[in-house]
Structure 1
Amino acid sequence: MTIHTKQYRNNHYVDSSHYLSEEKRMSVQSTWNMKKSLAVILVAAPLVLAGCGGGGGGSTSTPSPSPATSAVAAQSYTMSDLVVPDGFDYSSVEQFDLDIDISSISTARSFVTVYSRFSARDDSTLKPDYSSKVIAGSLNNGVFASNFTAPVNHDSLLVEIWFYDGQPPLQQVVSSSDSQIVW
């Protein structure tokens, strides 16, 4: 082996070991950085998710329940634990009887519709929510009689009578607590 070759090997070996050492240091540093990043993500994720709570507008956030509260909430109940007052009605609809007689006002062709939801317009007339129609039918000589069911979650119902001659409808708001509606 020549001196030149020996020198080359010594230099190459030193350079190779230097590069291997540098590569190992970079690998350790990279692993450390990944561990730090993962730790930050794991710590921050619950905080971010807690801040993304449900809909609705207010600026306050609901704190997560403490372990003591969670233990109480985790208690299981059975149907035998349920207490219901006598006479409680589980039905979400109510039965109504509708009797209309406007023969003293008009016997012209007319049509009645009852709505469970409506709103007030600026001109004091009422605007029905057409998707909430619970019954509709023709009046015969100004008279209409029928029964129907409607949701009990509304305080009142809107009864509208339309005439075919183009005049504005007759409107009447009735209490949904009255099962007998008479006009």
Structure 2
Amino acid sequence: MNTLTKTTSILAVLILTACGGGGSDSSSGAAQVEEPSSDIDNQGSEDTSSVQNPLRSMQDLAVPVDFDYNPTQSVDVLVDISAVSTKRAYISVYSEFQQNTDGTLTPDYSYRIANGALDTGKGEITITYAQEYTSLLAEIWFYDGTEPMQRIITRDNSKITY
């Protein structure tokens, strides 16, 4: 019986080895067959292989004079809401937001790019952000739980005054 167990085990190992037993994750059972190319197909390729493209270098690039290689932009945001409130407040600036049907704006909180505290309703924040954003959303939050004040910041209008 011991011989029968050994023989069965060896036979099972040989069968698994012969069948492959793993390796590829593909479930395709069809074999890939490479077709031999004919001389007619290669006639056109001989002419193109002898033509070489010239190598290009950085000196070959034409860049406009006014092109800015810096993909970021910095803006100083000046905040003055002292005419409305001098309570404790906090400002957050977001690069991604959605406009709701009622006109309010909802920021994507994972895109907050700057924040800071306001002292007696005034503050200043320097923001560096990607130039692809044409507008940013600033929200001024109060610690008493009232609704935040919202304002859109653009490159030309970075001052928040109420």
TM bracket, shorter-chain basis:
0.5 to 0.7
* Paired residue total: 118
Distance 2:105 2:130 in 1: 19
1:96-111 matched pairs, under 5 angstroms: 96-111=75-90
Distance 1:127 1:138 in 2: 21
Tell whether 2:157 aligns with 1:168: no
- Residue 77 and residue 161 in structure 1: after superposition, are their counterparts in 2 closer, same or farther (change >3 A)? same
What is the CA distance between 1:120 and its match in structure 2? 1.5
Per mean C-alpha deviation after superposition, the further-off stretch among 74-83 and 117-126 is 74-83
What is the CA distance between 1:75 and its match in structure 2? 6.1
| Structure 1 stretches lacking a partner, 5+ long | 1-36, 44-66
Structure 1 equivalent of residue 9 of structure 2: none
What is the CA distance between 1:103 and its match in structure 2? 0.2
What is the CA distance between 1:129 and its match in structure 2? 1.4
Distance 1:138 1:160 in 2: 12
Distance 2:133 2:106 in 1: 16
Tell whether 2:93 aligns with 1:114: yes
1:9-88 matched pairs, under 5 angstroms: 42=34, 76-88=55-67
**Greater RCO, CA 8 A, separation 6+:** 2
Structure (1 or 2) with the greater helix fraction: 1
- Could you tell me the TM-score, scaled by structure 2's length? 0.64
Distance 2:54 2:109 in 1: 44
Task: Pick from 102, 116, 125 the counterpart of residue 123 of structure 1.
Answer: 102
What is the CA distance between 1:165 and its match in structure 2? 1.4
Distance 2:88 2:112 in 1: 20
Deviations 1:99-138 (A, max 9, x none): 0000001001111011111111233211111122111011
**Runs of 4 or more consecutive aligned structure 1 residues displaced over 6 Å after TM superposition:** none
What is the CA RMSD across the aligned residues, in angstroms?
A: 2.6
Distance 1:84 1:130 in 2: 37
Distance 2:65 2:135 in 1: 26
- Residue 101 and residue 38 in structure 1: after superposition, are their counterparts in 2 closer, same or farther (change >3 A)? closer
